[in-house]
Amino acid sequence: MNFLKNLHGKKFYALVFVGLIVILTKIINTSAQTPQANLFITGPNDLSTLTSGSYKIMLNSGSELIGFVSVEISFDKTKLSLSAPVAATGPLKNQIIVTNVADANANGVVTIVLGLSPADVANPPSGEFELATLEFNKTGTPSGGTSLTFNTQNFSVVNMAAQQLTVGSQNFDISFDAPTQTPTATLTPTDSPTPTLTPTNTPTFTPTVTPTQTETPTPTPTATVTPTPTPIANQPATLSLFPNGEFKITKESQVDLSLLISSPIIGVDAVINYDPLAVDIINVSSSGLFSGNFIFNNSSPGILRISATQTPQQSINSGGIVASITVKPKIIGLTELNFNFTLGDKSESNVIATNGEDILQTTNGAILDILGLDVFAYLNLKTPSENLAIGHVASGSVEIVDDTWLQNFTTDNDGNSQTWQLDYTYLNSELFFRLKSSGFLRRRISQTLLEGTNVLNFGNLVAGDLNDDGIVNNIDVAIMYQNWFLTGPSDYNKDGIVNSYDFWILVNNFFREDE
């Protein structure tokens, strides 16, 4: 009976213990944050019969639209070696930082920092997509296995709202040994021995001794020595400006300041040099990566200062976009935005760790290829022609009044001329265009050119100026009489004969002059 009581008590405490484990598990699972994006690798797991392998670095961001990714992958350089430059094979085409082959094989680490190209801003990637491809060769004849391992302290995935996403990852295992075949066991039959009968002893009754309870001694606690933690060395940081590429003159565009770190930090200062004759700094906005103060200053021409700090007693442990800089290019050609940086000089660009150390080691500026805006124009006109085969074919010249721009033209049946490209300096200002076609008075229109293709609509030409002196009068009537019943320029309706109908067209414009 005492045994049953003891057993009952043990079951109770066991159930309580299991219940606590379940509750703690739920608390832990509830507090864990579900990753918004996941990094993984695809490629051959078995290299036992291969000398090399191609591995794709993949990201699944679900519904999040991605603009920036930073990853770091470690490999065993005694078993694998990178055989080709890292290739950005996915929709993030702007390579901000990519470790070269020599450095990767020397350190066993590949760093890949990619951003969205300006041309793809309207169509950022989401869901499952490639980031880059790594080509590895086996080093010698390795045995056993190895792994391609993500550095979980150096993730950075930023969406188009400049928000840092939580990231999960799956490392990738590679085997160099062929799988071993397990032999199948063969059963050998054996003869069963004849059982021997053993006589049974008659048990003798032994009285049960009731134990006396003895007081349990109290254990003396042993002091535990707490080890002193070994300080972890800070890892170097990188500041970069991106994208590099083509920008259009006078069009406001965005350049992002990005941070790459592997150690906790409390603040960043970026001192950026630029050519004030080539670009204007319109605005600088914070991405919200830092929760403390955000300050920028552009009072000195050619120098932009940006500072971002974390809330006191806090730090940030992963990088991303720090700020977005709105620039307005002013001249065509190449210009550069670069950092004022000297290693270890805290008065210039710096990244300050939680122990006060400046850990900025590398900076990457941006090269802007400033192009002119695309400005095109063609003219459209109408003549008195009633001949569908000929239509509104005409030739002549068109010019910008009080300017050197002048072009000859020939229109098609619909009255449309060839297309010309104009200088971007003609944009967004009122211009006066004047057209002259032989046998017609000059027409003049005003138009403001916009980026893209513009139509210069001159409407109906004024017929009757057969001597091109700028007025329709009796001299033009005399010229028409000389061609009566013939064909030629006086045949305004293009019916193949000069007659009273053409005369009617002319006299309806009598005494009109050039515009």
CATH number, domain of 348, equals: 2.60.40.680
Q: Does 423 share its domain with 386?
A: yes
In a domain, 212, yes or no: no
Q: Which two tokens stand for residue 61?
A: 């961001």
468: domain CATH number? 2.60.40.4130
pLDDT per residue as tens digits for the range 201-251: 544 444 444 544 545 555 555 556 556 555 678 999 999 999 999 999 999
In a domain, 314, yes or no: yes
Alpha-carbon span 284 to 297, nearest angstrom: 9
CA-based radius of gyration for the chain = 42
Q: Are 264 and 315 in contact (CB under 8 A)?
A: yes
In a domain, 193, yes or no: no
368, 387, 406 - which closes a domain: 368
Q: Does 141 share its domain with 39?
A: yes
Angle ∠(281,286,287) on CA atoms, nearest 5: 125
- Domains: count for the chain: 3
Using a 10 angstrom Cβ sphere, with 0-12 exposed, 13-18 middle and 19 or more buried, the burial of residue 417 is buried
In a domain, 280, yes or no: yes
HSE-up (13 A, CA, CB side) for residue 332: 7
Alpha-carbon span 43 to 408, nearest angstrom: 62
368, 393, 411 - which closes a domain: 368
152, 173, 194 - which closes a domain: 173
Q: Does 106 share its domain with 144?
A: yes
In a domain, 23, yes or no: no
pLDDT of residue 232: 72
Distances (CA, A) of 260 to 59, 160, 265, 338, 361: 19, 18, 11, 17, 11
Q: Does 269 share its domain with 351?
A: yes
pTM to 2 decimal places: 0.54
Alpha-carbon span 72 to 153, nearest angstrom: 9
Beta strands in 406-481 (DSSP E): 406-410, 420-422, 430-436, 439-440, 443-448, 452-460, 463-465
pLDDT of residue 161: 85
Q: Tell me, what DSSP letter sits at residue 242?
A: E
In a domain, 79, yes or no: yes
In a domain, 98, yes or no: yes
Three-state secondary structure call for residue 113 = strand
Q: Are 261 and 237 in contact (CB under 8 A)?
A: yes
**Ranges of residues in the chain whose predicted pLDDT is under 50:** 1-32, 190, 195-200, 202-209, 211-212, 214
Three-state secondary structure call for residue 14 = helix
Alpha-carbon span 124 to 135, nearest angstrom: 26
Q: Does 363 share its domain with 404?
A: no
Q: Tell me, what DSSP letter sits at residue 7?
A: H
Long-range contacts of 427-431 (CB under 8 A, 24+ apart): 427/250, 427/373, 427/375, 427/451, 431/400, 431/401, 431/403
Q: In terms of residue numbers, what domain contains 82?
A: 34-173
* Residue with the two structure tokens 């124009």: 377
Distances (CA, A) of 192 to 140, 189, 195, 199, 451: 56, 9, 9, 21, 100
pLDDT of residue 34: 77
* Residue with the two structure tokens 């033209």: 409
Q: Does 360 share its domain with 377?
A: no
Q: Are 325 and 242 in contact (CB under 8 A)?
A: no
Q: Does 315 share its domain with 379?
A: no
In a domain, 320, yes or no: yes
Q: Which two tokens stand for residue 271?
A: 């001192």
Q: Which two tokens stand for residue 78?
A: 């005694």
pLDDT of residue 35: 85
Q: Does 338 share its domain with 271?
A: yes
